[in-house]
Amino acid sequence: MSDISNLLGDASNAVKAAVAAIDSASQLMDKVESLVPTDSRSIVLEFVNATDVALNRVTDNFAHGGFGPSLPAGVIGSGSLDSFSVVSDGIGTGIEGSVTYVGDGISNLLIGFNNPFMGSNAVNVVLDGPEKDQLSLVADISVGNHAHARYVLYPPTVPAVRPQPSLYALSPADSSVFQWRGTGGDWVQIGGAATGLFAGAGRLFATNPQSGDLFMYMGKPMQWHRIGGPGRSFVVDGSGTLYGLAPDGSSVQRWSGSEDQWLQVGEPATALYAGGSRLYATSPADGGVFVYSGTPMHWSRIGGPGKAFAVDGSGTLYGLSPDGKLVLRFDGSAWTSIGTAAASLLAGGNRVCATSPLNGDLFLYSGNPESWADIGTAGKQFSIDGLGNIYGLSPAADGVFKWSGEGNSWHNIGGPATAIAAG
């Protein structure tokens, strides 16, 4: 993932426009909030048209509320973005409505929105026409009285069906990518040389050793698709959403689903952590940890610095104190100590593990504070998939093992390898 301004190809124009508009969208949210009473409702909507088809607005409909200080454009050009706002009629009322567009091969494209006075915010979409099977239309909305909604129309490059969580490894000979077939020592080569593997929710991404470009595995051996340039690090959440940190750490970005199309969602960060529906980042200023709200550039500080962090499949964050003497769990509002000294943390599915600072042994958290079980000796690397299966790479990197689920029993399933990634 390169700096967004350096992304190449016509397909990146939509994201360039989107990123350029992030600040204005945030300013629009502030403007709308300042113009309406606190107890009323508002939504700032962004529509990213990442296709080569121009969209013409044909109608709008409101059951409640109406347009705010900014109106939707009559035409959203190919590879561009439009932002507008909707507000409630007053205190004690909500917003419910839609805007409809048409275009070449698109007979009906509806984006719906709802910010009720009582109940949860929601969005809905409709896409019809000869080209509907060649396009994807996705949407999400934040919580709160003054919300932010985003709609993205794009030609998908993501496989329609994602496989179940799996285990991947880099071979020591040439760093080729291999996938474990799930039984015994049966592995299959699925890719050439790579320098990093990033797995989650059945998806796999890898970086090219020459260019640093990021590629996504398409589900069939040796079939990969380039989706972006280099990045400092990447993480995948429980839904398969990919986030990346710019090479210089200057921004956090989210992949939109198409080649070279990334949206900036955060400012400078040191590291990223993801799991479930949550994304966390640490600050380069003081090491403090922040949680992403789901709205670009909106993050909340939830704690100070830590030696390490990990996120399980439910999105729960675990942290290791700066001195490594305490393992803590964040419950959404406060931190609770659940364990003593550790060297590192890892999590996935319904599992949380820590390694001993004394001998490197792996300990599994029982779910009850201060209750941990020693399940294995030291390893070069450990990884947990979305189902909670625990894998380890031996200290000499000459064997890959899977925990049996009982005591200290592990089964050898392959090796040697230079690195493993489960997800």
**The domain that contains 66 carries what CATH number?**
2.60.270.50
Q: What pLDDT is stored for residue 333 in this prediction? A: 93
Sole residue written with tokens 């009629």: 89
Q: Is residue 160 part of a domain?
A: no
CATH label of the domain that carries residue 363? 2.130.10.10
Q: Same structural domain for residues 328 and 184?
A: yes
Question: How far is the first Cα of the chain from the last one, in angstroms, to the nearest whole number?
Answer: 21
Same domain, 291 and 251: yes
Determine the pLDDT at residue 102.
96
Q: What is the pLDDT of residue 39?
A: 66
Give the span between the Cα atoms of 28 and 85, in whole angstroms.
8
How confident is the model at residue 259, as a pLDDT?
Answer: 83
Instruction: Yes or no: say if 56 and 103 are a contact pair by the CB < 8 Å rule.
Output: yes
pLDDT tens digits, residue range 138-150? 998 988 888 899 9
Question: Would residue 36 count as lying in a domain?
Answer: yes
174 shares a domain with 99: no
Beta bridge partners of 147: 43
Same domain, 230 and 93: no
Among the candidates 154, 181, 209, a domain finishes at 154
**Considering the domain boundaries, does residue 115 fall inside one?**
yes
Asked whether residue 366 is assigned to any structural domain, the reply reads yes
Structural domain count, the chain: 2
Is 370 a member of any domain? yes
Based on the fold, state whether residues 227 and 110 are members of the same structural domain: no
Residue 159 in any domain: the answer is no
What pLDDT does residue 157 have?
Answer: 61
Phi then psi for residue 94, to 5 deg, are -115, -165
pLDDT attached to residue 7: 27
Domain limits for position 62: 4-154
Asked whether residue 320 falls in the same domain as residue 190, the answer is yes
Residue with tokens 């909305």: 141
* C-alpha–C-alpha distance, residues 326 and 276, integer Å: 24
d(CA 154, CA 372): 46
Would you tell me how many other CB atoms lie within 10 Å of the CB of residue 67? 15
DSSP annotation of 24 reads H
Domain boundary among 154, 185, 202: 154
| Judgement on whether residues 111 and 193 belong to the same structural domain of the protein | no
pLDDT in tens, the chain (423 residues): 333 222 223 333 433 443 344 444 455 555 555 555 556 889 999 999 988 899 999 999 999 999 988 899 999 998 888 999 999 987 778 999 999 999 999 999 999 999 998 899 999 999 999 888 788 899 989 888 888 999 999 886 655 445 677 999 999 988 999 999 998 889 999 999 999 999 998 899 999 999 999 999 988 899 999 999 999 999 999 988 999 999 999 999 999 888 888 999 999 999 999 999 999 999 999 999 999 999 899 999 999 999 999 999 999 999 999 999 999 999 999 999 999 999 999 999 999 999 999 999 999 999 999 999 999 999 999 999 999 999 999 999 999 999 999 999 999 999 899 999 998
Within a domain: 311:
yes
Together in a domain, 98 and 200: no
> According to the model, what pLDDT value does residue 90 have?
73
User: Does 363 share its domain with 309?
Assistant: yes
- The reply to whether 69 falls in a domain is yes
Q: What token pair was written down for 136? A: 């994807």
Both 312 and 221 in one domain: the answer is yes
The span from the CA of 145 to the CA of 223, in Å, is: 45
Same domain, 261 and 381: yes
Domain boundary among 98, 120, 154: 154
Does 188 share its domain with 220? yes
